[in-house]
Amino acid sequence: MGDKGRFVLPPDFRNMVKESSEGRVLCLASHSRFGCLVGFGLSRQLELDAQLDREEEMASRVGREFDREIRENQLFGFKRIPFDDSGRFTMPDFLQSQGQVGDALYFQGAGPSFTVWNPAILAQQNDDWNGAKAACADLLTEAEAKRK
Protein backbone atom coordinates (compact mmCIF):
# COMPACT_ATOMS: atom_id res chain seq x y z
CA MET A 1 0.00 0.00 0.00
CA GLY A 2 1.39 3.35 -0.96
CA ASP A 3 0.54 6.93 -0.40
CA LYS A 4 -3.12 7.83 0.05
CA GLY A 5 -3.98 4.17 0.73
CA ARG A 6 -3.54 3.18 -2.91
CA PHE A 7 -2.23 -0.04 -4.36
CA VAL A 8 -0.45 -0.50 -7.69
CA LEU A 9 -1.49 -2.92 -10.38
CA PRO A 10 1.80 -4.41 -11.71
CA PRO A 11 2.65 -3.50 -15.34
CA ASP A 12 1.98 -6.96 -16.83
CA PHE A 13 -1.43 -7.14 -15.19
CA ARG A 14 -2.12 -3.47 -15.93
CA ASN A 15 -1.55 -3.97 -19.65
CA MET A 16 -3.72 -7.09 -19.73
CA VAL A 17 -6.57 -5.38 -17.87
CA LYS A 18 -6.34 -2.24 -20.03
CA GLU A 19 -6.64 -4.33 -23.20
CA SER A 20 -9.46 -6.40 -21.75
CA SER A 21 -11.36 -3.37 -20.45
CA GLU A 22 -10.62 -1.03 -23.35
CA GLY A 23 -9.50 1.39 -20.70
CA ARG A 24 -8.41 1.50 -17.10
CA VAL A 25 -10.99 -0.56 -15.20
CA LEU A 26 -9.99 -3.38 -12.87
CA CYS A 27 -12.73 -5.78 -11.79
CA LEU A 28 -12.22 -7.29 -8.32
CA ALA A 29 -14.27 -9.75 -6.28
CA SER A 30 -13.79 -12.10 -3.39
CA HIS A 31 -12.54 -15.51 -4.54
CA SER A 32 -15.13 -18.21 -3.84
CA ARG A 33 -12.63 -20.82 -2.52
CA PHE A 34 -9.45 -19.09 -1.44
CA GLY A 35 -8.84 -16.33 1.09
CA CYS A 36 -7.94 -13.88 -1.65
CA LEU A 37 -9.45 -11.73 -4.37
CA VAL A 38 -9.91 -12.47 -8.05
CA GLY A 39 -9.25 -9.83 -10.69
CA PHE A 40 -10.03 -9.45 -14.37
CA GLY A 41 -10.90 -6.96 -17.09
CA LEU A 42 -14.38 -6.03 -18.27
CA SER A 43 -14.29 -8.39 -21.27
CA ARG A 44 -14.62 -11.30 -18.82
CA GLN A 45 -18.27 -10.30 -18.32
CA LEU A 46 -19.04 -11.86 -21.69
CA GLU A 47 -17.72 -15.21 -20.49
CA LEU A 48 -19.66 -15.18 -17.22
CA ASP A 49 -23.05 -15.82 -18.88
CA ALA A 50 -21.62 -18.86 -20.64
CA GLN A 51 -20.08 -20.05 -17.36
CA LEU A 52 -23.45 -19.67 -15.65
CA ASP A 53 -25.12 -21.78 -18.35
CA ARG A 54 -22.43 -24.49 -18.05
CA GLU A 55 -22.75 -24.64 -14.27
CA GLU A 56 -26.54 -24.92 -14.48
CA GLU A 57 -26.31 -27.69 -17.07
CA MET A 58 -23.75 -29.63 -15.01
CA ALA A 59 -25.89 -29.35 -11.87
CA SER A 60 -28.91 -30.60 -13.79
CA ARG A 61 -26.96 -33.57 -15.19
CA VAL A 62 -25.92 -34.76 -11.72
CA GLY A 63 -29.26 -33.94 -10.10
CA ARG A 64 -27.88 -31.16 -7.91
CA GLU A 65 -29.97 -28.13 -7.01
CA PHE A 66 -28.86 -24.93 -8.74
CA ASP A 67 -30.08 -21.46 -7.86
CA ARG A 68 -29.30 -19.44 -10.96
CA GLU A 69 -30.19 -16.11 -9.34
CA ILE A 70 -27.81 -16.61 -6.41
CA ARG A 71 -24.98 -17.82 -8.65
CA GLU A 72 -25.57 -14.94 -11.06
CA ASN A 73 -25.24 -12.49 -8.18
CA GLN A 74 -22.03 -14.21 -7.07
CA LEU A 75 -20.46 -14.12 -10.53
CA PHE A 76 -21.52 -10.58 -11.38
CA GLY A 77 -20.96 -9.15 -7.90
CA PHE A 78 -17.54 -7.76 -8.73
CA LYS A 79 -16.51 -4.16 -8.16
CA ARG A 80 -15.31 -2.02 -11.06
CA ILE A 81 -12.28 -0.05 -9.90
CA PRO A 82 -10.63 2.66 -11.99
CA PHE A 83 -6.85 2.95 -12.01
CA ASP A 84 -4.50 5.65 -13.29
CA ASP A 85 -1.77 5.37 -15.95
CA SER A 86 0.68 4.19 -13.27
CA GLY A 87 -1.70 1.45 -12.15
CA ARG A 88 -2.62 3.08 -8.85
CA PHE A 89 -6.06 2.28 -7.50
CA THR A 90 -7.97 2.54 -4.26
CA MET A 91 -9.56 -0.64 -3.01
CA PRO A 92 -12.91 -0.42 -1.20
CA ASP A 93 -12.85 -1.40 2.47
CA PHE A 94 -15.23 -4.34 1.97
CA LEU A 95 -12.86 -5.91 -0.58
CA GLN A 96 -9.87 -5.33 1.67
CA SER A 97 -11.75 -7.17 4.39
CA GLN A 98 -12.92 -10.04 2.15
CA GLY A 99 -9.44 -10.47 0.68
CA GLN A 100 -7.73 -10.17 4.07
CA VAL A 101 -5.64 -7.38 2.53
CA GLY A 102 -2.76 -5.89 4.47
CA ASP A 103 -0.21 -3.36 3.26
CA ALA A 104 1.08 -5.52 0.37
CA LEU A 105 -0.49 -7.46 -2.48
CA TYR A 106 0.81 -10.29 -4.63
CA PHE A 107 -0.73 -10.82 -8.08
CA GLN A 108 -0.67 -14.39 -9.42
CA GLY A 109 -1.78 -15.89 -12.69
CA ALA A 110 -2.68 -15.06 -16.22
CA GLY A 111 -5.53 -15.82 -18.55
CA PRO A 112 -9.10 -14.70 -18.09
CA SER A 113 -8.54 -13.90 -14.42
CA PHE A 114 -5.84 -13.72 -11.76
CA THR A 115 -5.66 -13.93 -7.98
CA VAL A 116 -4.68 -11.10 -5.65
CA TRP A 117 -3.18 -12.20 -2.34
CA ASN A 118 -2.11 -10.88 1.00
CA PRO A 119 1.40 -12.45 1.04
CA ALA A 120 0.86 -13.79 4.57
CA ILE A 121 -2.33 -15.60 3.52
CA LEU A 122 -0.64 -17.00 0.40
CA ALA A 123 2.21 -18.34 2.57
CA GLN A 124 -0.36 -20.42 4.51
CA GLN A 125 -1.64 -22.22 1.40
CA ASN A 126 -0.86 -25.86 0.65
CA ASP A 127 1.94 -27.15 -1.59
CA ASP A 128 -0.12 -26.54 -4.73
CA TRP A 129 0.87 -22.89 -4.30
CA ASN A 130 4.64 -23.44 -3.80
CA GLY A 131 5.60 -21.65 -7.04
CA ALA A 132 3.50 -18.62 -6.19
CA LYS A 133 4.77 -18.62 -2.61
CA ALA A 134 8.41 -18.66 -3.77
CA ALA A 135 7.83 -15.87 -6.32
CA CYS A 136 6.02 -13.78 -3.71
CA ALA A 137 8.81 -14.30 -1.17
CA ASP A 138 11.38 -13.13 -3.74
CA LEU A 139 9.38 -9.99 -4.49
CA LEU A 140 9.03 -9.22 -0.78
CA THR A 141 12.79 -9.61 -0.33
CA GLU A 142 13.44 -7.26 -3.28
CA ALA A 143 11.00 -4.69 -1.93
CA GLU A 144 12.60 -4.80 1.52
CA ALA A 145 16.07 -4.35 0.03
CA LYS A 146 14.87 -1.31 -1.94
CA ARG A 147 13.42 0.25 1.22
CA LYS A 148 16.79 -0.03 2.95
**DSSP count for the chain of H helices, then E strands:** 6, 7
Total number of domains in the chain: 1
d(CA 10, CA 71) in angstroms, rounded, equals 30
How many Å from the N-terminal Cα to the C-terminal Cα in the chain?
Answer: 17
User: pLDDT 10s per residue in the chain (148 long)?
Assistant: 877 889 999 998 998 898 888 889 999 999 988 999 999 998 888 888 899 999 999 999 999 999 999 999 888 889 999 999 999 999 999 999 999 998 899 999 867 889 999 999 999 999 999 999 999 999 999 988 888 8
**∠ Cα 120 125 127 (to 5°):** 130
DSSP element (H, E) containing 120: helix 119-123
CATH of the domain at 20: 3.40.1550.20
Domain region containing 98? 3-147
d(CA 103, CA 71) in angstroms, rounded, equals 31
CB 119 within 8 A of CB 101: no
pTM: 0.86
